[in-house]
Amino acid sequence: MFCDQCGHALPDSAATVCPDCGASLNSTAETPAMAARRPVVPGRAARGPGWRAWLRATIGRNVAGTLAGIVGAWFGVPMVLLMAGVGGVVGGLAGVVSGTVVGVGVLDRLDTLLEFVFPLPVSSSELLPTAAAQIGGIVGGLIGMVNGALTLGWMTAVFPWQQLYAGDPLWPVSVLLGQVAVAVTVGALYVWWSAGTEAVRLRVGGARELSRREADWLLPILAEAGERLGLDALPRLLIDDRREPNASAGIRHIVINAGLLEQLDHDREQIAAVLAHELAHWRDGDAIAMAWAKGVALPLFLAFELADRALRAARIRPLQFLVRLLSWSVLATVRYGVLPAQATLWRAQEYRADAAAAAAGYQDGLRRTLAYLRGSFDGQRSGWDRTLLASHPPNELRLDRLEHDDRVYPLHEEHPLVRALPGWTGDSTVRKGW
């Protein structure tokens, strides 16, 4: 007799539980997986973390990222950058014209300066007889560009507040508090909307319920990981059939890709480590924190998303240039202001989830998973993206925190399946073939 889940030979035909995978061999008995898949009572959704996690994730976490989002979205930073750019262009053109006209005077002043610093046997006009206009234009253009950008940018940022103060000294304070209140309200509503629609969005994105066999194998692992983490409730586990090795924790769900299960060869310890890592994300409300960070800057992120999609849809260079010309201030505000401040929290969340999984007893399993999948998640990115906008820390640094100090680890590890390939030795350089 064999187990219909893992194929393991059963020592006793009267056995009710497989000694290898723990699957129930009694089709009439209700397993924990079957109980978990009972129809949900109407009106009840999958469980989310407790209210303390909600408060910590919204109010008490990543104050710098929240402030960056509020300032960038609700206090006109893209408009300030846009007008500064306009001022720089206009000022630069005016500086080039005026500098070209007074170029001769620039060379005369240069002669006077050189007499005190580094006297020359000939004058600048004799040394560079035709450079007066060029040098004057360049110097004038640079000065005009900087002056125009600073002047128009400062006026755009300060003038509205000066007018409010001129009307009533309390108006700037009222508008400031009103903008912050609106940002907080929009952020809270966005978190509420994200939690309420998460199940629908995940299913539209390709996630599905577990099959009976998947549930019989995965749900006990999830329950064990939750028990080790001290959880009194669990999120709903879903499967995504995509082949990319990935897993993610939402507000009320955890999604694990079928490709991750396949690449890890359904190794129980490694899958348990991944689930413990995602449960730590869920327990700490990390998905809530990310939704909050986006919600408080929602107008800015909507504009950024629109510009990003327009750039990807534009197939010809002139059209791409036009899109960048119209949206560069929004792109710059998000990429060089808001996202770097928020990405710091994302990377800290990964370290914290790794530490929680390790403390729950999954240190070796998580370390082996990261060592094997170290190149599977992030593609080629620019240096700015890799250092300041990355949502995950480098895998090597995550491995550093998971490894025991008294043990030696190789820099490169082969997957057990690769070791079974013909010709593999301890010094083999054969890499995984999927």
pLDDT digits (tens, 9 = 90+) for 230-263: 988 899 999 999 988 889 999 999 999 999 999 8
Cβ atoms of 243 and 225 within 8 Å: the answer is: no
Quick check: 170 pLDDT over 90?
yes
Identify the top-confidence range among 184-188, 387-391, 404-408, 421-425.
Answer: 184-188
> What pLDDT score does 425 carry?
52
> What pLDDT score does 9 carry?
59
Residue with the larger pLDDT of the pair 144 and 404 = 144
Quick check: 108 pLDDT over 70?
no
- For the whole prediction, is pTM greater than 0.85? no
CA atoms of 293 and 342, how far apart (whole Å): 7
Residue whose pair of structure tokens reads 């989002």 in the numeric block:
69
Quick check: 125 pLDDT over 70?
no
> What pLDDT score does 40 carry?
35
> What pLDDT score does 105 carry?
59
Quick check: 71 pLDDT over 80?
yes
> What pLDDT score does 432 carry?
38
pLDDT band for 28, please (50, 70, 90 cuts): very low
Quick check: 274 pLDDT over 90?
yes
> What pLDDT score does 44 carry?
38
- Mean per-residue pLDDT for 198-223? 93
Residue with the larger pLDDT of the pair 372 and 6 = 372
Q: For residue 320, give the nearest of 309, 336, 333 by alpha carbon.
A: 309
> What pLDDT score does 389 carry?
57
> What pLDDT score does 110 carry?
62
Q: Is 166 exposed, middle or buried (0-12, 13-18, 19+ CB in 10 A)?
A: exposed
- Mean per-residue pLDDT for 338-359? 89
- Mean per-residue pLDDT for 205-213? 92
Residues 185-377, CATH architecture: 2-Layer Sandwich (3.30)
Quick check: 47 pLDDT over 70?
no
pLDDT tens digit sequence for 75-99: 999 999 999 999 999 988 888 877 6
Cβ atoms of 249 and 281 within 8 Å: the answer is: yes
Quick check: 430 pLDDT over 50?
no
Mean predicted lDDT score pLDDT of the chain: 79
> What pLDDT score does 200 carry?
94
Quick check: 15 pLDDT over 70?
no
Considering the chain, what percentage of its residues have pLDDT values greater than 70?
Answer: 66
Contacts of 124 (CB under 8 A, 6+ apart): 107, 110, 111, 114
Q: Is 362 exposed, middle or buried (0-12, 13-18, 19+ CB in 10 A)?
A: buried
Bridge-based pairing state of the strands 236-240 and 207-208: antiparallel
